[in-house]
Amino acid sequence: MKIDFLTLFPEMFEGVIHSSILKKAQEKEAVSFQCVNFREYSTNKHSSVDDYPYGGGAGMVLAPQPIFDAVDTLVGQSDTKPRVILMCPQGERFTQRKAEELAKEEHLIFICGHYEGYDERIRENLVTDEISIGDYVLTGGELGSMVVADSVVRLLPGVLGNTTSKIEDSFSTGLLEHPHYTRPAEFRGYKVPDVLLSGNHAHIEEWRKKQSLKRTLERRKDLLESYPLTKQEEKWLAELGKNEKE
């Protein structure tokens, strides 16, 4: 996969893309990153990328020309049709399902804006996706694009050492993930659940499924509305709900 970030602050990405899983993904040649300062594509003598909004109002608006030209150049260099993603608080809220969808692509271009907003012609004629990482406003789109890229890259084949990790992650199964424990079996008087020490894998798997349901019921009940429960899971959930009321 190839990922391009269009940004006015390419230095913001250095620590992120050269650390942890993103660094390892590049070493394994699963992904390549490029940070492009779209100010370099400005054609006016001051190299400005923003202007006052028509009709008046507070703030400055990113102009279409530098961004259109930058995207055109990147698309022209691509062997496939890239997804052009606009990081925007008005966009679709980012989910694990969206990460899984984007992980199937070969080329992603993120547009990271600043100032008051984008010229609407960018949104209407250039992008394929608008994404928001939450109902709040950041200074720019850089941090949001890093979040999305990290979530996507870890799903690429061969990136994670344990292939089951991404399958069992919270939201990947439709439920929140079960609790985890490691050594020692007792720490400051706090003990690991006996079932995890039993060696009975069937009982452990059942415990984990129940805990996943319990945690989802307690913290994100809304996820259960679209989760396809099995008959056994319905029974467990009924028991959990009864215990919750008691």
> What is the rounded distance in angstroms from the CA atom of residue 76 to the CA atom of residue 83?
13
> What is the rounded distance in angstroms from the CA atom of residue 74 to the CA atom of residue 109?
8
Task: Give yes or no: 116 in active site.
Answer: yes
From the candidates 105, 116, 150, 206, give the one annotated as an active-site residue. Answer: 116
Task: Give yes or no: 89 in active site.
Answer: yes
Q: Is 137 annotated as a binding residue?
A: yes
Q: Is 138 annotated as a binding residue?
A: yes
Let me know: does 30 contact 159? Beta carbons within 8 Å.
yes
Peptide bond before 184: cis, by omega within 30 degrees of 0? yes
Task: Give yes or no: 157 in active site.
Answer: no
> What is the rounded distance in angstroms from the CA atom of residue 147 to the CA atom of residue 23?
15
Region of 188 on the Ramachandran plot (φ > 0 left; ψ -120 to 50 alpha; else beta):
left
Task: Give yes or no: 179 in active site.
Answer: no
Instruction: Write down the residue that tokens 């945690």 correspond to.
Output: 215
From the candidates 4, 82, 129, 154, give the one annotated as an active-site residue. Answer: 154
117: number of Cβ within 10 Å: 19
Q: Is 84 annotated as a binding residue?
A: no
Give 14's DSSP letter: H
Q: Which of 162, 166, 142, 172 is nearest to 154 (CA)?
A: 166
From the candidates 89, 105, 123, 130, give the one annotated as an active-site residue. Answer: 89
From the candidates 51, 69, 150, 169, give the one annotated as an active-site residue. Answer: 169
Torsion angles phi and psi, residue 95, rounded to 5: -135, 170
Q: Is 153 annotated as a binding residue?
A: no
Residue type present at position 138: L
- Segment holding 71, helix H or strand E: helix 64-76
Assign 16 to helix, strand or coil. Answer: helix
Q: Is 134 annotated as a binding residue?
A: yes
Count the helices and strands in the chain (H runs, E runs).
10, 10
Q: Annotated active-site positions, please?
A: 89, 116, 154, 169
Binding residues: 113, 133-138
Binding residues for S-adenosyl-L-methionine: 113, 133-138
